Structure 1
Amino acid sequence: MEIWINPDCSKCRSALSVLDAERAEYTVRHYLQQPPTAAELREVLCRLDLAPWHLARLGEPVAVELGIADWPRDEPSRDRWIEAMAAHPALIQRPIITADDGTATIARTPEAVRQALSRLSEEK
């Protein structure tokens, strides 16, 4: 599994603590330094079963600068949102766990991390 984190984020550090406590095997991706491509974002959105505007952090300064909160939230606008998040990864919710079973989780709570781990252990 891979976890996309910002090391300055308390929720990311908490997710890592849960993974470590559970002795999970994972790879860390510092997504601000290694931004996901638009294709990777499309894949993660598909795994999450979310529209891109549900993954966006609208309170970020770059979101305000882009006026993203006022963008249309419809199918023709999907690519615009995805391209913005690929160009400005600070817009992406964090942390995100992408599991080897094809699932993904926005792991903002310890419970969400544990649910992701539970799904994986059930697969084994």
Structure 2
Amino acid sequence: MASVEIWVNPECSKCHAATEMLDEAGASYTVRRYLDEPPTRAELETVLARLELQPWHIARLGEPAAVALGMDSWPRDEDNRSRWIDALLQEPVLIQRPIITTDDGGAAVVRTPEAIRAILPSARSAE
């Protein structure tokens, strides 16, 4: 049986919408409250690879922690990639949400209903 995991912040309306859509689709999934159970470096690296994104692409730069660090002005290049990852690991609230991963290698930041629907075929296979 395939596994679907969704990284959520329980205070996030987009996370609520994503789990409701998964429920409506009858998908089987595991909720990960990533603020309570932050990803390891290896997990974050794996998710970034599956998303085909860099850490600056999933950083919430409007968060107070990001503003305090001045992340908006950080270079977005390979030399600074580790700095970005370190910040996301230190302050998981900076990680964009919700993120869905599937055992078949699928992954998406699902901030819109369209993004959720795009991953649902993978999610349905978890039933």
Matched, 1:60 2:56: no
Scaled by the length of structure 2, the TM-score of the pair is: 0.92
- Residue aligned with 1:13, SS: helix
Task: Say if 1:120 and 1:18 are closer, same or farther in 2 by CA, change over 3 A.
Answer: closer
Answer 1 or 2: higher relative contact order, Cα 8 Å, separation at least 6: 2
Matched, 1:38 2:41: yes
The Cα shift of 1:80 comes to 0.7
CA distances 1:57-94 after superposition (whole Å, capped 9, x unpaired): 00000001111111110001111101110110010000
Cα RMSD after superposing both structures: 1.7
Matched, 1:18 2:18: no
Alignment gaps of 5+ in structure 1: none
Runs of 4+ aligned residues of structure 1 deviating over 6 Å after TM superposition are: none
Alignment gaps of 5+ in structure 2: none
Residues in 2 aligned to 1:120 and 1:62: alpha-carbon distance in whole angstroms:
33
Count of residues in Structure 1 that have an aligned counterpart in Structure 2: 124
Q: What percentage of aligned pairs have identical amino acids?
A: 60
The Cα shift of 1:119 comes to 3.9
Scaled by the length of structure 1, the TM-score of the pair is: 0.94
Q: Would the aligned equivalents of 1:101 and 1:120 in 2 still touch at CA under 8 Å?
A: no
Q: Give the corresponding residue for 1:87.
A: 90
Indicate which of 37, 51, 60 corresponds to 2:54: 51
Indicate which of 68, 72, 75 corresponds to 1:69: 72
